[in-house]
Amino acid sequence: MKGLITFSTPYLLFIYLLCILFTTETEAGSRNGDGVYVVYMGSASSAANAYRAQILINTMFKRRANDLVHTYKHGFTGFAARLTAEEAKAIAKKPGVISVFPDPNFQLHTTHSWDFLKYQTSVKIDSGPPSTASDGSYDSIVGILDTGIWPESESFNDKDMGPIPSRWKGTCMEAKDFKSTNCNRKIIGARYYKNPDDDSEYYTTRDVIGHGSHTSSTIAGSAVENASYYGVASGTAKGGSPNARIAMYKVCNPGGCTGSSILAAFDDAIADGVDVLSLSLGAPAYARIDLNTDPIAIGAFHAVEQGILVICSAGNDGPDGGTVTNTAPWIMTVAANTIDRDFESDVVLGGNKVIKGEGIHFANASKSPVYPLIHGKSAKNADASEGEARACEFGSLDQDKVKGKIVLCENVGGSSYASAARDEVKSKGGIGCVFVDDRTRAVASAYGAFPTTVIDSMEAAEIFSYLNSTKDPVATILPTATVEKFTPAPAVAYFSSRGPSSLTRSILKPDITAPGVAILAAWTGNDSAISLEGKPAAQYNVISGTSMAAPHVTAVASLIKSQHPTWSPSAIRSAIMTTATQTNNDKGLITTETGAAATPYDSGAGELSSTASMQPGLVYETTETDYLNFLCYYGYNVTTIKAISKALPVNFTCPADSNLDLISTINYPSIGISGFKGTGNKTVTRTVTNVGGDGVAEYTVSVETPPGITIKVTPEKLQFTKDGEKLTYQVIVSATASPKQDVFGALTWSNAKYKVRSPIVISSESSRTN
């Protein structure tokens, strides 16, 4: 089994664990040794590419049509098919074939938010998206590659929406449980993709997991009052871009998300006419997929060529460095942070000592400490090790010692989870679980009707002291209480994947961070796994992950597109990045889960601002030539690049001195300099476009310089005479010695109205790290 595409929440942790099985093997096929391969042949605008692809398809599959899985013809050329390894090798040698690779299986990135974003930018508003929402003159169309959608959710009602935009060319595919009438003026498109290894029951756009409904409603859900998860996180559920139209491309099923389906969805979305594409999925960090065999990077490149911004989650493999995924420079990559809402479930010890905890549960335990309390180590069975019992691992506890007690469990080895400890305690007759884990303490998970809470090691020290000094220790776990205006927030979530990018250190990734912890949004209407016994099925769910963060950025991008329909994908990305915030609601710097100040490897340019991004003042436009030069610098030859790109300039050639260090020179909103040894100077150039709307405008630069580094910007002032004017400046970096570790700074162009900030990362390491 190849790797699964990642959902971003602890709720779907079991899917994530399956991703450990990610390999480069092909899927099992109908003929022994066969597998599904993707054959990528570059731009669809090339008649030669299209002709060669059709000849291959006609020659190979005339008598074996069932082996042809997908064909690609709108945004790019190629196909996916069942092939033997020998056939795949032979096709790879054919003229016009850029790459042939086994069909990978990716993972989903899952482990109140709009109000918090508005508060962070000092805009007072009750709920929902920024007050600058589209007036309907251009309703953006958001394509979402995910698990499908639950159309009956109130979040997808189309009340008061105007007609479907005439430019829409997509369709609403029917299935046994999904009719054309399930689409409306909100859900305007619905497609699913057949995976030959899937059960036919998944041949429908209906969401059977919940993830796609959650991400869709976060982006573009209609306002639903009194939404909650059984009373938790109660309020008005509303997407960030409620006027946007949704086109769902179901590429994921319980078995994962195949790369061949993802490419088919990109190909269809390009032809259908979407404005923005959102993907909350990707390969696991250790997969290290190269650009020409990465379906997301390939599909995104061709989408961006057609003017479609592609936004992807960064992955849930944090907090280790170098784990960020979806890092191609034409993709906008999103990390996850907390918001100013906490779900508190406290532990009360004998003597009414209160220990603060985190968790969502719906138990009816006594509010007084009347239940016996025991440490997992003291309740171990004869066959378990001490470490297993401390973590309350499966089968480690003695039923006679646990029955009727609250059990204190610990994440001893760093690989245990509160949900697993809860299950073990519950199975042995325990009545509550207190789980010690510094990592997950700030990320509330739902535990159903069984009393469960998570505390950190400092809080646990008080419980251990109590256990060791009391003959008959007792405790209780209080019901979940929602704490609003929680401080400090935001903080980067522990699970959020971190930079630097394994693709290149010269492009800072992630690009931005956004709310991704304990986000309430729509769910399937029949999920017994998250529903309480004797209660109606949950219509909304609270989950976490970079899967939840990417939709927040997608919503804001959709709003910007509605206000500025002619803006390029890179202009929208720049507007979001350069207006990001770096401070929390305590007026301190954004931190990580440890309390340390976040670096750009944790949070990119900072946290998304849902209001300032609508009027950025200046934008950095990364042109198609920039991306083509990136391919040159990365090592691709002109022949390959000509096959990939739809509109290569006639006289385009790779720079004679192309090398990885030159990646720093593409016109990106952040600045990454790698291989800097401290001798001589390093100079990079950037160009900004005036979009402030005032015509004449002057900006002055200020620089945040890291210790041991000198940064000079020339000129120090930019004087614009009209809107749309472009001006160029240079950044010259020098030092007296090679930096011993990566260092961080920033430069900001500002005037009385705008602040346009770019983070700077300087590293002595080489550009490419994998």
Residue 731: give its domain's CATH number: 2.60.40.2310
Catalytic residue among 103, 115, 139, 146: 146
Asked if 350 and 470 touch (Cβ cutoff 8 Å), the reply is: yes
Q: How confident is the model at residue 7 (pLDDT cuts 50, 70, 90)?
A: very low
Residue 129, pLDDT above cutoff 70: no
The domain containing residue 328 runs over which residues? 113-121+137-340+492-576
Residue 635 lies in a domain: no
**What is the secondary structure of 232-295 as a DSSP string?**
EEEEEE--SSTT-EEEEEE-EETTEEEHHHHHHHHHHHHHHT-SEEEE-EE--GGG---GGG-H
Q: How confident is the model at residue 536 (pLDDT cuts 50, 70, 90)?
A: very high
Closest CA to 510 of 681, 692, 328: 328
Q: How confident is the model at residue 378 (pLDDT cuts 50, 70, 90)?
A: very high
Asked if 337 and 549 touch (Cβ cutoff 8 Å), the reply is: yes
Q: How far is CA 160 from CA 182, 506, 559, 617, 761, in A?
A: 17, 47, 18, 33, 47
CA distance 529 to 415: 23
More confident residue, 353 or 22: 353
Q: How confident is the model at residue 257 (pLDDT cuts 50, 70, 90)?
A: very high
* Domain CATH code at residue 455: 3.50.30.30
Residues 6+ apart with CB under 8 A from 582: 589, 590, 603, 606, 607
Residue written as tokens 């009052």?
225
CA atoms within 13 A on the CB side of 111: 29
Q: Which residues of 214-224 are buried (b: 16+ CB within 10 A; e: fewer)?
A: bbbbbbbbbbb
Same domain assignment for residues 216 and 262: yes
Which amino acid is residue 494, in one-letter code? Y
Q: What is the mean pLDDT of the chain?
A: 90
Closest CA to 571 of 632, 631, 506, 617: 617
Last residue of a domain, one of 483, 507, 540: 483
pLDDT at 648: 77
For this structure, is 763 an active site residue? no
* Domain CATH code at residue 569: 3.40.50.200
Same domain assignment for residues 193 and 331: yes
For the stretch 599-614, pLDDT in tens is 999 999 999 999 999 9
For this structure, is 547 an active site residue? yes
Closest CA to 241 of 756, 692, 613, 590: 613
Residue 595 lies in a domain: no
Residue 586 lies in a domain: no
For this structure, is 146 an active site residue? yes
Helix (H) or strand (E) holding 401: helix 399-402
Q: How confident is the model at residue 3 (pLDDT cuts 50, 70, 90)?
A: very low
Q: How confident is the model at residue 418 (pLDDT cuts 50, 70, 90)?
A: very high
Domain count, the chain: 4
Residue 313 lies in a domain: yes
Sheet harboring 682-690: ordered strands across?
618-619, 682-690, 726-735, 709-714
- Report the DSSP beta bridge partners of residue 246: 142, 187
**Which structure tokens are listed for 91?**
């096709």
Same domain assignment for residues 568 and 693: no
For the stretch 483-505, pLDDT in tens is 999 999 999 999 999 999 999 99
pLDDT at 136: 46
Same domain assignment for residues 477 and 388: yes
pLDDT at 470: 95
pLDDT at 137: 59
Residue 125, pLDDT above cutoff 90: no
* Domain CATH code at residue 45: 3.30.70.80
- How far is C-alpha 177 from the chain's CA centre? 29
Q: How confident is the model at residue 117 (pLDDT cuts 50, 70, 90)?
A: low
Q: How confident is the model at residue 679 (pLDDT cuts 50, 70, 90)?
A: confident
For the stretch 190-226, pLDDT in tens is 999 988 777 788 899 999 999 999 999 999 999 999 9
Lowest mean pLDDT of 246-250, 390-394, 673-677, name the range.
Answer: 673-677
Neighbouring C-beta atoms of residue 628, cutoff 10 Å: 22
More confident residue, 550 or 47: 550
Same domain assignment for residues 248 and 166: yes
Residues 6+ apart with CB under 8 A from 82: 29, 30, 31, 34, 35, 36, 37, 67, 69, 196
Catalytic residue among 70, 109, 112, 211: 211
Helix (H) or strand (E) holding 102: strand 99-102
Lowest mean pLDDT of 49-53, 416-420, 462-466, 645-649, name the range.
Answer: 645-649
Same domain assignment for residues 74 and 212: no
Output the pTM of the full model: 0.92
For the stretch 642-660, pLDDT in tens is 889 877 777 889 988 899 9
Residue 21 lies in a domain: no
Task: Give the long-range contacts of residues 694-699, CB within 8 A, separation 24 or more.
Answer: 694/723, 694/753, 695/720, 695/721, 695/722, 695/723, 696/720, 696/721, 696/722, 697/617, 697/751, 698/751, 699/617, 699/618, 699/749, 699/750, 699/751, 699/754, 699/756
CA distance 60 to 675: 47
Helix (H, G, I), strand (E, B) or coil at 512: strand
For the stretch 333-376, pLDDT in tens is 999 999 999 999 999 999 999 999 999 999 989 999 999 999 99
Same domain assignment for residues 525 and 544: yes
Same domain assignment for residues 325 and 347: no
Residues 6+ apart with CB under 8 A from 598: 491, 492, 513, 589, 590, 591, 592
Closest CA to 509 of 575, 620, 633, 599: 599
Residue 39 lies in a domain: yes
Residue 249 lies in a domain: yes
Same domain assignment for residues 477 and 497: no
Closest CA to 280 of 316, 240, 309: 316
Same domain assignment for residues 321 and 367: no
- How far is C-alpha 511 from the chain's CA centre? 11
Residue 639 lies in a domain: no
Q: How confident is the model at residue 112 (pLDDT cuts 50, 70, 90)?
A: very low
Helix (H) or strand (E) holding 625: helix 624-634
pLDDT at 15: 38
Last residue of a domain, one of 483, 506, 521: 483
pLDDT at 65: 86
CA distance 554 to 140: 11
Residue 25, pLDDT above cutoff 50: no
Same domain assignment for residues 83 and 144: no
Helix (H) or strand (E) holding 547: helix 546-563
Catalytic residue among 140, 280, 497, 547: 547
Helix (H) or strand (E) holding 513: strand 512-515
Which amino acid is residue 515, in one-letter code? P
pLDDT (mean) for 147-170: 97
Same domain assignment for residues 221 and 278: yes
